[in-house]
Structure 1
Amino acid sequence: MNRLLLFAPMGLLIAGFALSVLGLLWSSLIHGGAALYADLLTDPIILRVLWRTAWIAVVTTGLCAVLGYPLALFLARSPRRNLWLILVISPWLVSIVVRTFGWMVLLGNRGVINTSLRGWGIIDSPIRILFTPTAVIIGLVHVFIPFMVIAILSSLLQQDRRLEEAGRILGGTRWQTFRRVTLPLSMPGVTGGCSLVLLMAAGAIVTPLLLGGLRDRMLGTQIYSEIFQVYNFDRATAMAVLLLVLALLLVAPLRLLEARLRHRLEAG
């Protein structure tokens, strides 16, 4: 009985999510029907937005994993882990809008980066960084990398350090022990963090809107535009369904990989 009570909040969350998704799908089919989806999937602008959303989300996730793993490994081995962890998650104390405006100051034509490069004589004219996919990726990595670090850190802290010591005793170098012991055991945390970041990056609105502008839109900003600028709620609803499908397609391989890794670890 106690376990059922513990699962009750999870059941409410799942039910609320399922009902909202079904309501969204039903609304798009009632008001627009299959013709609306056909129109979106044959629109070259929407197809470019879908492709841009997918590859920016994937690149952001990859960079978060590459940059976040060494940081998580450092935190797991550091005796002052709690202090460093506070520094990692401290950006969450500041609004995402404020942080994104900070990147606008840094990446603008008259920002710190371009001003410094011109002052050092490296460039003659400003480099266009702001309002490009590069700026969006930089902003998204900055926003989401703490999630990746925490996911990997939780996996590293669950490892038995004696396994690494055994690997070293058996003659393995630090790199061999990391590659054959530490990294495989931490892969569930990596795939979990990648899934989380991939979902959030695909549906991001504020950072792509401010750093990418109106030219290089992602699907989230396109939906925002349809609702608050064009007032086309039917089209925005269908786009939201497409965003959900895109997110599921992106995350599905990661979830399958995580299941296989957990099965191998349990079997081993």
Structure 2
Amino acid sequence: MTGPGRRLALFAPMGLLIAAFVLSVAGLLWSSATRGGIGLYVELLSDPGILRVLWRTVWIAVATTAACALLGYPLALFLARSPRRNLWLLLVISPWLVSIVVRTFGWVVLLGNRGVVNTALRDWGLIDAPVRVLFTPWAVLIGLVHVFLPFMVIAILSSLLLQDRRLEEAGRILGGTRWQTFRRVTLPLSLPGVVGGSSLVLLMSAGAIVTPLLLGGLRDRMLGTQIYTEVFQVFNFERATAMAVILLVVALVLVAPLRLLEARVRRRLEGA
């Protein structure tokens, strides 16, 4: 196979993915414009209930991303420096071998009023009545962090592994402490991985359905679960389509600053 033919064969799967994405988004926008129109968007965005769902979606997605970054960076740094990296990495990604429904239901067992956590706290005499965690936004946050943390760890780990360790050694030789070397060398060089992982987690958590549905219930809904309800329970496809467009716009608005930050960081690193 010649050079151009080989490149075409390599880019064909990517072209199919891009075409499928563009066509699906175009179909979504077309359906939204022909079925509901602007009036439906005005109705949704003036509904206090939908605005509460939208706000809940935004803050849970942002909080999930921040928690995954804070927890994932030390873990990724440990993996990058560990001589048994492959073993620890296998443990990190092992939850992917279990269905997300099973993993999320495990938190239902742990956080319920008669779950493991409340039972243990009562047995130890720390509480008299069960602490309500299940079916709250905090339960959703815990579940989403558990589900999406491996994505953040792998994104940061890939960036750390690409670093030249001699740069850190040079920083130490020039008199820098471990913290100074980390702050001025390791952290800046790994920022593309942090930003990339944050973008991925932010997008996935904003559109999550299974975890918010099982841990948040029908009262503390996110936009993804609201769309699920409109499609499979109310059968209101017009509202579901409009909500899907709103979710797409919100996700783009949330992730745009991260992509701009990543581009700026890469320019500074390339110019350094």
TM score, norm. by length of structure 1: 0.99
Q: Which residue of 2 aligns with 1:256?
A: 260
**1:120 offset after TM fit, Å?**
1.0
Letter of the 2:187 partner, please give it. Answer: L
What root-mean-square deviation, in Å, do the aligned CA atoms of Structure 1 and Structure 2 show?
A: 0.7
SS of residue matched to 1:125: coil
Q: Does 1:226 pair with 2:212?
A: no
Counterpart pick for 1:211 among 211, 215, 225: 215
**1:12 offset after TM fit, Å?**
1.6
Query: Percent same amino acid at aligned positions?
Result: 82
Letter of the 2:60 partner, please give it. Answer: I
Letter of the 2:74 partner, please give it. Answer: P
SS of residue matched to 1:127: coil
**1:14 offset after TM fit, Å?**
1.0
**1:7 offset after TM fit, Å?**
2.1
Alignment of 1:86-125 (within 5 A): 86-125=90-129
Q: Which residue of 1 aligns with 2:76?
A: 72
> Aligned partners of 2:145 and 2:155: how far apart in 1?
15
Tell me the alpha carbon deviations over residues 194-246 of structure 1, each in whole angstroms, 9 at most, x when there is no partner: 00000000000000000000110000000000001100011101100111001
Q: How many residues are matched? A: 268
Q: Does 1:133 pair with 2:145?
A: no
SS of residue matched to 2:218: coil
Q: Which residue of 2 aligns with 1:166?
A: 170
Q: Which residue of 2 aligns with 1:3?
A: 7
| Runs of 5+ consecutive residues of structure 2 not aligned to the other structure | none
Letter of the 2:110 partner, please give it. Answer: L
TM score, norm. by length of structure 2: 0.97
> Aligned partners of 1:253 and 1:118: how far apart in 2?
45
> Aligned partners of 2:101 and 2:176: how far apart in 1?
47
Q: Does 1:38 pair with 2:68?
A: no
SS of residue matched to 2:132: coil
Q: Which residue of 2 aligns with 1:200?
A: 204
> Aligned partners of 1:151 and 1:63: how far apart in 2?
15
* Farther off after superposition, 93-102 or 9-18: 9-18
Q: Which residue of 1 aligns with 2:16?
A: 12
> Aligned partners of 1:13 and 1:37: how far apart in 2?
29
**1:138 offset after TM fit, Å?**
0.2
Letter of the 1:119 partner, please give it. Answer: D
